[in-house]
Chain A
Amino acid sequence: MPNIKQLEDLTTQVRRDILRMVHKVNSGHPGGSLGCAEFFVALYNEIMDRNDSFDMNGIGEDLFFLSNGHISPVFYSVLARSGYFPVEELNTFRLIDSRLQGHPTTHEGLPGVRIASGSLGQGMSVAIGAAQAKKLNGDGHIIYSLHGDGELQEGQNWEAIMYASAKKVDNLISTIDLNGQQIDGSTDDVLPMGSIKGKFEAFGWTVLEIEEGNNLEAILNGMAEAKSNTGQGKPVCVLLKTVMGNGVDFMMHTHAWHGKAPNDEQLAIGLEQNTETLGDY
């Protein structure tokens, strides 16, 4: 059994990383990053079967694709703290000449990143291609992907969702960050999408829900169940119900912190609510 306390400590440290990264450059997307901190920590530490060193082709390991690239702070923090690059490099986030671009890219050669993302709606297609490459290679590992709920308004997703079930891409687990928020407001205000669960099911996917998407045990159990559903002829969708801005009280339950950095005072409050565990970068 994983040591939940250790994972919780890591999550707290990742939250500190996120806050400090976006504060330093007064830009970036803390809300969605904080909401997915537990998911990333669980994914990279317990769920995925990963090789020690990074190789673009990722033969013989599980792979992850981030489609909603604006939550790069949580991605970078967890990649660094999983050993892909030095944690000190988090200091360079969004600065000139950095490998840590505002949105993730392979262009600068940052280990751990296999595709550029940021322009929304493209990641599921890429994940499907990587999953089909695994099948061609006789590689039984899993492809994981993460998508925002607002991102599902992009039509390419539905081309991909239709294709994945039609072609029985059953080595794919696509997680939707169901935080109900997007830049202009709640998803229900901006463009109500009805039942996302119903839509995925109608498109032929196996759909699982993680009601407590900020609870590490719930995530571990839910993702283990998702994994047990792979190889059954259907792609697997996980609806991860998260709270945007989770772990920093004034950032929670609002879209206000989607793409806004805290000021000095707000940073201090946020860090006070997440005391240092594994050491700041």
Chain B
Amino acid sequence: MKIYTYTEKKDTRSGFGAGLAELGRTNPNVVALCADLIGSLKMDKFIEENPERFFQVGIAEANMMGIAAGLTIGGKIPFTGTFANFSTGRVYDQIRQSIAYSGKNVKICASHAGLTLGEDGATHQILEDIGLMKMLPGMTVINPCDFNQTKAATIAIAEHNGPVYLRFGRPSVPIFTPADQKFEIGKAIQLTEGNDVTIVATGHLVWEALEASKALNEKGISAEVINIHTIKPLDEEAILNSVSKTGCIVTAEEHNYLGGLGESVARTLALNKPAPQEFIATNDTFGESGTPAQLMAKYGLNSNAIIEKVKKVISRK
């Protein structure tokens, strides 16, 4: 079994900041907007190097989404930056009409997604954003797993013509993907080979899935871990191929089970190859204040929880 290690931890939002800075140097059409959260989104470098291509809109997210839509008319590629909650739920109709339905080339970049935002609590911990965004026709939904992948994804979405929701987070997490790995939208990455169970994970849960697979391997259970960084369009082929071999699947995400990655996977299996599935996700609940680790443990979103679900799903085969 391939063992993954890391030497450094970093927040995925810094990966976004690094990717945006690189785009500032390489793509003159890229512009950025922020609703009073420059530091939190790590947009400083882009702004420092391209002040004329940055728009501080203040605490007015609805206006930001509309301005971003307008900037595309004239050939700009706008990247909006704010927290995931304010990037989706707060501005759903603006995104729906002015961006998605209008087919505008806006990149909605959302930090502090999920429980790992931590102490600020449930007002800021959105667990519904993947569902909201994946339901919009034409919207691409991406949730990368570490600093390197978030940077690569940020750069890749500039080349994609169409609206994109890019979801990342606040906490420092292990960097384990190669810095030079090209990001292919909609292309799953198989991280380990296994025969007993498929674990499909997205975002911060990918590392937890790898940790779980290590522990499972020691107990004689071989898990195939797949990094699904793109939730829409979903790499159905990769999932089906793996489940054909393993016969069961656990999906893992920092999101409500309603509307999340797990539901998309369940639909794929139902239509093509029904198989036992267990969900690592929040259970139709809001979050609360706490440290990221406490919250992920309490709501069952860590490697220990994955191990338990793997045992359960294998018993259902």
Contact = CB atoms under 8 A, between A and B. Distances in A.
Interface in A38-61: 56-59
B74 A136 contact: yes
A136 B97 contact: no
B36 to A, nearest CB: 12
A162 interface: yes
Contacts of A59: 74-75
A251 to B, nearest CB: 28
Interface string B41-82: 000000000001101011010111111111111111010000
Contacts of B93: 119, 122
B73 A163 contact: no
B101 interface: yes
Given A129-B66, A136-B52, A159-B62, A122 B71 contact: no
Interface stretch (A109-117, A187-195, A236-244): A109-117
Contact of B76 (A105, A128, A136): A136
A116 B70 contact: no
Nearest to A123: B66
B69 A126 contact: yes
Contact of B70 (A118, A133, A162): A133
A131 interface: yes
Which one of A122, A129, A133, A136 has the greatest number of beta carbons of chain B within 10 Å?
A129
A107 B94 CA distance: 16
B31 interface: yes
A248 B68 CA distance: 40
Interface residues of B, number: 32
B97 A114 contact: no
Given A128-B66, A163-B58, A167-B55, A57 B98 contact: no
B110 to A, nearest CB: 19
Interface in B153-210: none
A36 B104 CA distance: 28
Interface string A131-168: 11110110100000000000000011001101100110
Contacts of B62: 122, 125, 155-156, 159
A50 B207 CA distance: 55
A114 B101 CA distance: 11
A115 B52 contact: no
A115 B73 contact: yes
A269 B127 CA distance: 57
Given A57-B75, A126-B98, A163 B63 contact: yes
Contacts of B70: 65, 115, 125-133
A106 B53 CA distance: 26
B56 to A, nearest CB: 9
B67 A58 contact: no
A129 B101 contact: no
B97 A117 contact: yes
Contact of B67 (A56, A119, A132, A155): A132
Nearest to B69: A126
A124 B66 contact: yes
B73 A125 contact: no
A122 B66 contact: yes
Contacts of A166: 58
Contacts of A136: 31, 52-53, 74, 76
Contacts of A126: 66-67, 69-70, 73, 98
A132 B102 contact: no
B74 A130 contact: yes
A168 to B, nearest CB: 12
A117 B99 CA distance: 11
Given A116-B98, A129-B73, A159-B63, 16 more contacts: A56-B73, A65-B70, A106-B101, A116-B101, A118-B97, A125-B67, A126-B70, A126-B98, A129-B69, A131-B70, A133-B74, A133-B75, A134-B74, A136-B52, A160-B63, A160-B66
4 closest A-B pairs (Cβ-Cβ)?
Answer: A129-B70, A125-B66, A133-B74, A159-B63
26 contacts: A56-B73, A57-B75, A106-B103, A107-B102, A114-B73, A115-B102, A116-B98, A116-B102, A118-B97, A119-B93, A122-B97, A125-B66, A126-B67, A128-B67, A128-B70, A129-B73, A130-B71, A133-B70, A133-B74, A133-B76, A136-B53, A139-B74, A159-B60, A159-B62, A162-B60, A167-B55
